Amino acid sequence: MQPVDLTTLRAVLADLTQDKTGRDSVLPARVEWIQQTDLWTVVIGLRTLTARPCLLLSWHPQAARLHLCQPPPKESDGFQFSQFLQRQLKGLALTELALLDDWERVVDFRFALRLGDPPHRHLYLEVMGKHSNAILVDEAGMILASGHGVSERQSRIRPVQPGLPYEAPPALTNSIPQRSEPFSCWQERVALIPGPIGQRLLHCYRGLSRHLVEAMCHQAGISPQTPIDHLSAQDWQALFARWQDWLTRLETGQFDPAPTPQGYTVLGWASGAGTESRQQSSPPNLHQLLESYYQAQLNREQFERGRHRLLQKVSTLLKKLHQRREQFEAMLADSTQAEASKQAADLLMAHLHLWRPGLHSIELPDFASGQTVKIPLDPEKNAILNAQAYYRKHRKQKRAQDALRPLQEALGQEILYLEQVEASLQQLDTCRASGTESFRDPQDLTTLQEIETELIQQRYLESPTRNSGTEFLGVSSKHASPATFNPYRFTSPSGFSIWVGRNNLQNDQLTFRVAQEHDWWFHAQEIPGSHVLLRLPPGAVAESEDLQAAADLAAHFSRGRLSEQVPVVYTRPKLVFKPKGSPPGMVVYKQEQVLWGRPSRAQPLIALALANTDATAGFVSGQVAAPGRLEGSKEEP
């Protein structure tokens, strides 16, 4: 993830405080509301003479940033820091917005009772990587609250606690870049110690970041890893020209934001496809660029962490359940000897005259077959006591059978359900085989949220509070709502829609709320997987190729997707039933037919659709993809 460096921060401040393209500055503005959306992010609702902008302040360890944003959903956040900010800043005027030092990433938000008054409160946003923080200070310089407290045990140099005086972060010792510095002095300073050119620039001057240095070197036509002594005179001149361009933009406040293949740039230093796309389209808004980039990156990281955590939890639960099933099977195997115990007791009672004191075993003829049966005995007991012991063992084994069988059936259903959840989680990783990352679009994160909510409802997970230390992906409704219901959608060879549930909640909605009587319902036979629906208009007849395409998708979106072929059952939706009290996604069916699905036939089409940029854009925007590819229509049933 590309961090916000000094250049980006100054570009944001220049855009917020200067009047460009006829747009009013956000200063001065009245604070109307403050809301904290997570542990590291606060949104301040402002009101100017012409607009009501929302300012996002984040001290996230990897994504600390500042920019305008869309207003978040109105809800009670429960964070003490935002509630304190609300009490201290609501109604005040944001009069000034500037860096605490021109070459430090500390932004000073100055709030006054009214325009023209001295600052009444300072809110310092320190954009410093893992040490980022937001600190509220009064007019006397004393700390009132902070987004992240730092005790004296954590830092003896600079503790951050209420009641302590605020101290700026220790200043850097590198030289300050100056536009007036001659080329010879600049070259001499950088080339003083041997090393890669990128590393030397970072060590010699303030205000630089790794991404900025790499972009600067690439624009000059050299590699950041090039040793100093390998640079030609033309390389030095080209690099110095970019150096001067950077400083000029910082002084004049003229920035050119644009997306890049690796992230974004505020200097217009895009390369390759990024430059072409920027020339063909209108320049992007800086705040929208930052908001979309960091939200996508944070969603990606949240998705990867959440999916890994849920997979570990489900895997641990399944391991315990399998161990319990093995114990039940061992106990049932022992209880199957109940009839043998009763037979031994009956034989002893029928042949009491053959018993002799001190016997450890006795051989008696079976009633039916006449074959000799060897019966172990307790030498300290007589024949009657031994027979009574076998009768007691018989009754105990019969009770165990009666008690264990329903427990074993319930355990089997629970294992089948969790395997279904595990299959849903693994489906979110289906595009790794094509060499792409598992997170594809925000719908994947929504799907993961629904799976987590489902596990909480089934009491496999505890529901944490938002401001606790436990990461929680989000809360969704009890059932997938029409606004969030968005299954995978494909097109059959004849042009019919094929819908595939992403998780158990969507499977239930697909089967029992969306399906019509003329559709076909598919599922991998006795294998956890998604519910697949071949949607047909009234009176339409599906060809064998359509049924086979749906069967291939059902095989792919199941735990058998690594097999060469998977048996897939299909029937009409009206013949699919949900047992009373069963968890989401669990169904029974009848009058089914069987097709052999081949996951390999579906996987290339899915990988192509997900990897193709146009198909992905169509999925997000609602366009319809080509037949056989991911269908992006979002119309509701």
Q: What is the CATH number of the domain that holds 104?
A: 2.30.310.10
Asked if the structure places residue 509 within a domain, the reply is yes
Domain assignment present for 545: yes
H/E run at residue 302: helix 286-335
In a domain, 589, yes or no: yes
Average pLDDT over residues 447-474: 74
Distance CA 610, CA 164 (A): 53
**CA distances (Å), origin 88, targets 81, 120, 167, 529:** 11, 10, 20, 53
The answer as to whether 592 is a domain residue is yes
Q: How many domains does the chain have?
A: 5
Which of these three, 371, 403, 438, is where a domain ends? 438
Residues 339 and 263 grouped into a single domain: no
Let me know whether 221 and 303 are in one domain.
no
Question: 229 and 260 share a domain?
Answer: no
**Given 284, 305, 329, which residue is the final one in a domain?**
284
- Global pTM value: 0.75
CB 56 within 8 A of CB 290: no
* 387 and 513 co-located in one domain: no
Q: Are residues 202 and 340 in the same domain?
A: no
Q: Does 157 reside within a domain? A: no
Strand-pair partners of 362? 375
Do 300 and 431 have their domain in common? yes
Evaluate if residue 288 carries a pLDDT over 70: yes
The alpha-helical segments, DSSP class H, found in 539-632 are 544-556, 599-611, 613-621
- Residue 161 belongs to some domain of the structure: no
Domain shared by 278 and 312, yes or no: no
Crossing angle (nearest 10°) for helices 599-611 and 544-556:
80
Asked if 243 and 349 sit in the same domain, the reply is no
- The CA angle 495-496-501, to the nearest 5 degrees, is 130
Residues belonging to the chain: 637
Q: Is 54 helix (H, G, I), strand (E, B) or coil?
A: strand
Does residue 610 form part of some domain? yes
Q: Are residues 60 and 93 in the same domain?
A: yes
What digits encode the pLDDT tens for the residues 488-515? Answer: 888 888 889 999 998 998 999 999 999 9
Could you tell me the two tokens for 421? 């959840």
Same domain, 607 and 499: yes
**What letter would DSSP give residue 107?**
E
User: 319 pLDDT exceeds 60?
Assistant: yes
Closest CA to 366 of 339, 406, 393, 385: 339
Residue 262: DSSP 8-state: S
- For 45-67, what is the mean pLDDT? 94
Instruction: Tell me 352's DSSP state.
Output: G
Let me know whether 247 and 262 are in one domain. no
Residue 165 located in a structural domain: no
pLDDT at res. 551:
94
Using the 3D structure, point to which of 438, 472, 498 is the last residue of a domain: 438
pLDDT of residue 634: 34
Residue 466 has pLDDT above 60, yes or no: no
List the CATH number of the domain containing 418.
Answer: 1.10.287
Based on the fold, state whether residues 141 and 178 are members of the same structural domain: no
- Find the CATH number of the domain harbouring 213: 1.10.8
Q: pLDDT tens, 220-249? A: 999 999 999 999 999 999 999 999 999 999
- Structural domain boundaries, residue 388: 289-438
Element (H, E) at 340: helix 338-350
